[in-house]
Structure 1
Amino acid sequence: MRRSIIALLHVGYWFLYSLLWALIILLVASATRPDNNTPLQTWRFIYFIGAFGIIPAILGFYTFYTWLFPQFLQKGEILALFLVGILAAIGCGVLSAAIMLVMFPDFSFFNDGLNSGGVIVMILTIIAILNGGVGLVVKGFISWYNETKLKETLAQKNFEMELALVKSQINPHFLFNTLNNIDVLIGKDAARASTYLNKLSDIMRFMLYETKTEKIPLSKELAYIEKYVDLQRIRTATPNYVEYVVEGEVHDRLIEPMLFIPLVENAFKHSALREKENAIQIRISIADNQLVFDCTNKYKEGAQHPQDYGGLGITLIQKRLLSLYPKKHQLEISKNGDTYQVKLTLHQSWKSAAL
């Protein structure tokens, strides 16, 4: 928590406490008749009552705030906190009485023997305990807030590291198989092999450089998916193994990078029916304030289903959606027969890319 906020908490508390004590002073003063010749009608007595409430309050508050909280409460030593707190409050009461005796030596309250002095110390101790309790609450709130922010910061850093890992990695099996397929194509159709090699180069460039910003043009994300799908097609002889459709106008809209790609990669990873037509269907529909990503893939009986294989990419997608689109997205993963479906709907006002 920023120091200015902490200082504001302290100032606010002492302002409210001073108002309360001023009200008590006014009530005490008004309870005495004007013709009654007592110290209650003097400013000096008002100063005395003010010091009576303020001095033990400050001593108790900051003794508990600066010492007892970190030494005992923060460590969970409740019994020790209770015992030491009582002793510390008594010490604050005695010290407050000593300070007031120096400030107001002529008041009769201090000249009536031990009984009167004991009552005064007890009242001062109670004031110190009450304000010390408030000190513990204030310090506890500040500590809780700082720990919460620290946990959020660490979680965010961990999330960013995981995301960076996803962005930087290319599935080694995909890369190995793609290079093998291109190698085979070189002897049959060199021009086509060169085209696929360029697509692979574009994918690697995208993974290494384009995903470093918070947002990228939607067109680049879709272009990556298209090239990825094309490279997957060369791994099967089935012409309509994959169906990839984009509906709507892309224009210059922006989107967070790597939002759909992990879902696409998982669809290929868990679709073992390369000889079947339309084994994987990817459809992206773009409207003014909504984008729908719909991906289905066929699978063999006994294969993992989406609820099981939710690996690093799926987990991060869910975390990112909660962070980037709170209450503005729906992620649905379902199983219907031999088909798995992942449907992601985003509700947002599209931002245009900078020119």
Structure 2
Amino acid sequence: MRTNFYIAGSRLLTHTLFWVAYVMVYTGVHADGDDGFRVYFLNELQGLPAAMLVAYVNLYVLFPRFFAKQKYLLYCLSAILLLFCCSLFTRVLSEWYVEPVFLANSTHPDPIFIWYFLFKGMLWFLSPVLLFTLVIRIFQQWFIQQQQQQEMIREKLNAELNFLKAQVHPHFLFNTLNNLYALTLESSPKAPKVVLKLSELMSYMLYDSQSGDTFVQKEISHIRNYIELEKLRYSDRLEVSLNVSGKLDHKRIAPLLLIPFVENAFKHGLSNDTDQVWVTVDVKVKAGWLIFKTENSCAETLKENDLDNYKGGIGLQNVRRRLILLYPDAHELKVSKEPGRFTADLKIKLN
């Protein structure tokens, strides 16, 4: 993965404009009057090949072979050698070609090995180019690593969500088919209605829930179908209340996120030995928050591990994990137990 920041998408144009800017900036810094501008412009032009050599050797040879592999000592030695060779190349180009051809009347020949000019070329003219290209490569490498890390996080997130959602389907289907099985054993006339509701539930799970999110109203319809199935099974023994309030239009939520709470409410509420059991489901949208609450009846005297069993069910474990992945720092979940009552309170900040 490589991200390039080219002007107008053109690599050639970007590099050309960079070197034009390089020559003009250095010329402007050193120029002194009209005569000085011409002289220093020629000086910068004669130093341009060495600067380009430093830049591209550093970008495509030294950095990937040494710096990127954390061979910093080799990189430093190679960079110093590169600067020296390029500074020497500039001296050769200046004394043997540029000055004799363009500045013959205003200059005189000098020896190539004048250490002051060699070190000046290395430190003043070529080192900034080396450092600039090094910073570019470091930033580019960091940016690519960040992109790769984010891509890995996204892939891991999608894999975990798909796995967790896949776990919801068989868990939910298992509970519903058990209900249908009990009715068919009794040859109950309610069985066809159960099949119809089950068909609607499966349609939602197979199609509507495959997108990243769904409308809150659809999720509520899914819950309502589930409640109707349970009411068909338990008839007068079960008292169910579903309350919906607030403006739900165009509000969206991750699919199959609420149904495990309803499943658990029925599972634990109907497991009591009492003749009359009840389940209450409240859904409200207020001030950008989805407030979801389930309550169910339970025995007045509970075993110590009842709440742990409630919290540790497969459905709720999946929901907790999905909430962490989908709504980090944007949800609150509380599960509590009181005499005769289990309660689950969930708040989700809607985008």
Residue type at the aligned position of 1:124: G
Q: Is the counterpart of residue 92 in structure 1 residue 86 in structure 2?
A: yes
Q: Match for residue 211 of structure 2? A: 213
What whole-Å deviation, never above 9, does each CA across 1:150-203 have from its counterpart, x for those lacking one? 222232233233333344444535433432331221243633222222222222
Tell me how far 1:284 sits from its aligned partner: 0.8
Q: Is the counterpart of residue 315 in structure 1 residue 287 in structure 2?
A: no
TM-score by length of 2: 0.75
The alignment partner of 2:327 has SS state of helix
1:162 to 160, 163, 188: 160
Out of 219-228 and 290-299, give the one that drifted further.
290-299
5+ long unaligned stretches in structure 1: 31-39, 323-328, 349-355
Q: Is the counterpart of residue 191 in structure 1 residue 189 in structure 2?
A: yes
> How do residues 7-46 of structure 1 correspond to structure 2 at under 5 angstroms?
7=11, 14=19, 17-26=22-31, 29-30=32-33, 41=35, 45-46=39-40
In structure 2, relative to structure 1, the CA distance for the partners of 1:227 and 1:217 (3 Å cut) is same
The alignment partner of 1:333 has SS state of strand
Q: Match for residue 228 of structure 1? A: 226
1:261 to 258, 263, 276: 258
Residues 56, 93 of structure 1: 8 Å contact kept = yes
Tell me how far 1:143 sits from its aligned partner: 1.9
Tell me how far 1:122 sits from its aligned partner: 1.7
2:74 to 68, 80, 86: 80
The alignment partner of 1:182 has SS state of helix
CA distance in 1, matches of 2:346, 2:192: 34
Q: Is the counterpart of residue 128 in structure 1 residue 126 in structure 2?
A: yes
Out of 191-200 and 260-269, give the one that drifted further.
260-269
The alignment partner of 2:224 has SS state of helix
Residues 203, 227 of structure 1: 8 Å contact kept = yes
Residue type at the aligned position of 2:246: G
CA distance in 2, matches of 1:269, 1:81: 68
Residue type at the aligned position of 2:261: V
In structure 2, relative to structure 1, the CA distance for the partners of 1:156 and 1:270 (3 Å cut) is farther
Tell me how far 1:2 sits from its aligned partner: 4.0
Tell me how far 1:137 sits from its aligned partner: 0.7
CA distance in 2, matches of 1:270, 1:81: 67
What whole-Å deviation, never above 9, does each CA across 1:46-73 have from its counterpart, x for those lacking one? 3332225534332222222222221122
In structure 2, relative to structure 1, the CA distance for the partners of 1:194 and 1:120 (3 Å cut) is same
Give the percent of matched residue pairs that are identical in Structure 1 and Structure 2. Answer: 20
Residue type at the aligned position of 1:245: N
In structure 2, relative to structure 1, the CA distance for the partners of 1:189 and 1:268 (3 Å cut) is same
In structure 2, relative to structure 1, the CA distance for the partners of 1:335 and 1:290 (3 Å cut) is closer
1:344 to 338, 344, 347: 347
> How do residues 53-68 of structure 1 correspond to structure 2 at under 5 angstroms?
54-68=48-62
The alignment partner of 2:243 has SS state of strand
Residues 27, 44 of structure 2: 8 Å contact kept = yes
What whole-Å deviation, never above 9, does each CA across 1:113-152 have from its counterpart, x for those lacking one? 3552x32222222232221111011111122212222222
In structure 2, relative to structure 1, the CA distance for the partners of 1:180 and 1:319 (3 Å cut) is closer
Q: Match for residue 6 of structure 2? A: 4
Q: Match for residue 48 of structure 1? A: 42
In structure 2, relative to structure 1, the CA distance for the partners of 1:336 and 1:187 (3 Å cut) is closer
Q: Match for residue 148 of structure 1? A: 146
CA distance in 2, matches of 1:279, 1:86: 81
What whole-Å deviation, never above 9, does each CA across 1:298-352 have from its counterpart, x for those lacking one? 7853315759987444223332225xxxxxx74112354555634223355xxxx
Please provide the CA RMSD for this pair: 3.9
